[in-house]
Amino acid sequence: MSKRHLTQHQTQRIQKNQQDRLHKAKHSPELTDTEFHQLGPEEEGLLVAFHGRYAEVEDPQRKNHHCLLRQNIEGLAVGDKVLWRKGPHDLGVLTAKYPHRNLLGRPDKHGSIKPIATNIDQVFIVSATKPKLSSLLIDSYLVAAEKLSIQPILIFNKTDLLTPAEKKSTQVLLDIYKNLGYVVIFSSSVTKEGLHEIEHLLKNKTSIFLGQSGVGKSSLISFFLPKETIATGQLSQWEQGKHTTTTARLYHFPSGGKLIDAPGIREFGLWHMPAEQIAENFIEFREYLGHCKFHNCQHLHEPDCALKQAVHDGKIHHARWGSFQKIISS
């Protein structure tokens, strides 16, 4: 009996040791036991970037520290307020995160959301003529922003590349959004058109620049933050589909406000969002929702659909309707 008991006890101890090792390996993969015990007290910080398994955490004095990530903290994103502990060799450990106001994420095809950034006030949706403007991408970003109640602003960049005829047709396209009440700014890092207007809107807010790779997000940001070293791409590079900005990073304005540069996004799926939520976040659809003949109308093939009627009457623009149909059927 005692022998059996001992064996059980031993087994438990072995299992416990294994678990401890596993736990340590998971939570502080590169800290030895001694180093782990040398960690300082918990301090507050701001997550400004990721580098693989490390987070870059800024302390209240704006000094940055590399911190190991503990795997049990989920949904961390640039902009999160966190707790961290200073370690030896200036390698700390991120230990906890505060709840966030909102989380802007990028849905993947498996239905989970990959966090991009958090605690955002406004999102600048940047397009250009090169790479080609995509109304579908703009509409998808708008739906995501509206859903999170984050203020969206549209930027059409690289106006210096437009012929007068192209400028006119782009204006017609973007008037759709102006008519819906969205702010639309035409800009160019070359001629500096629109840059002061953007700079004014950035004041004292936390903003993020989103858009396809190569539209000029980092070039705009480096104009606003001339003291920072921000990588911008070569034309040939993004034509080959290579991203210049590979990871989101948060910058501060000396006069107040934060700005996040994010990597380019070619496709922004809304696979995780139910059709009804998508319809609600096309803001001009809202007044027609609930007026279809069938209360569960999918606005596809049903008769007496209030949305389709509104498109027919010219109250909803066919381009926006087209985007909606594409999003729903994808």
Ligand X SMILES: Nc1nc2c(ncn2[C@@H]2O[C@H](COP(=O)(O)OP(=O)(O)OP(=O)(O)O)[C@@H](O)[C@H]2O)c(=O)[nH]1
Q: Site residues (CB under 5 A) for Mg ion?
A: 217-218, 244-245
- Which CB sits closer to ligand X, 152 or 264? 264
CA atoms within 13 A on the CB side of 178: 11
CB 208 within 8 A of CB 123: yes
**Residue 299, contacted partner among Mg ion, Zn ion, ligand X, none, CB below 5-8 A by kind:** Zn ion
Cα–Cα distance measured from residue 132 to residue 157, given in angstroms and rounded to the nearest whole number? 11
Token digits for 108? 């993947």
The length of the chain, given as a count of residues:
330
Contact mark string toward ligand X, 218..257, x via CB under 6 A: xx------------xxxx--x----xxx------------
**H helix runs in 107-155, sequence order:** 135-147
- Exposure pattern of 28-60 as b/e (b: 16+ CB <10 Å)? beebeeeeeeebeeebebbbbbbeeebbbbbee
The number of residues that bind Zn ion (CB under 5 A) is: 5
Q: Does 316 bind Zn ion (CB under 5 A)?
A: no
Alpha carbon of residue 13 to chain centroid: 45
Instruction: Region of 111 please: left (phi>0), alpha (psi -120 to 50) or beta.
Output: left
Q: Note the Cα 317 to chain centre separation in Å.
A: 27
# residues contacting ligand X (CB under 6 A) = 24
- Is 305 a residue that touches Zn ion (CB under 5 A)? yes
The contact mask relative to Zn ion for 185-204 (x = CB under 5 A, - = no) is: --------------------
Which x/- pattern, by CB under 5 A, does the window 76-115 give for Zn ion? ----------------------------------------
Assess 299 for contact with Zn ion (CB under 5 A).
yes
Residue 198's H or E segment, with its range, is helix 195-202
Binding partner of residue 305 among ligand X, Mg ion, Zn ion, none, CB cut-off 5 to 8 Å per kind? Zn ion
Residues in region 119-178 near ligand X by CB under 6 A:
157-158, 160-161
Quote the CA–CA distance of 125 and 220 in Å, as a whole number: 12
CB of 234 to Zn ion, least distance (A): 47
CB of 188 to ligand X, least distance (A): 4
CB 168 → ligand X: shortest distance, Å? 19
Dist. CA 107–CA 110, nearest whole Å: 8
Applying CB under 5 A, which part among 60-68, 95-103, 266-274, 294-302 lies near Zn ion? Answer: 294-302
Binding mask 257-296 for ligand X (x = CB under 6 A): ------xx--------------------------------
Q: Tell me which of 117, 230, 297, 327 binds Zn ion, using CB under 5 A.
A: 297
Q: Of these partners, Zn ion, ligand X, Mg ion, none, which one is at the site of residue 216 (CB under 5 to 8 Å by kind)?
A: ligand X
DSSP 224-276: H-TTS------HHHHHTT--S--S-EEEE-TTS-EEEE----S----TTS-HH
Distance CA 281, CA 147 (A): 6
DSSP 150: P
- The mark string for 187-216 relative to ligand X (x by CB under 6 A, - otherwise) is -xxx----------------------xxxx
Sites of contact with ligand X (CB under 6 A): 157-158, 160-161, 188-190, 213-219, 232-235, 238, 243-245, 263-264
Sites of contact with Zn ion (CB under 5 A): 292, 297, 299, 305, 307
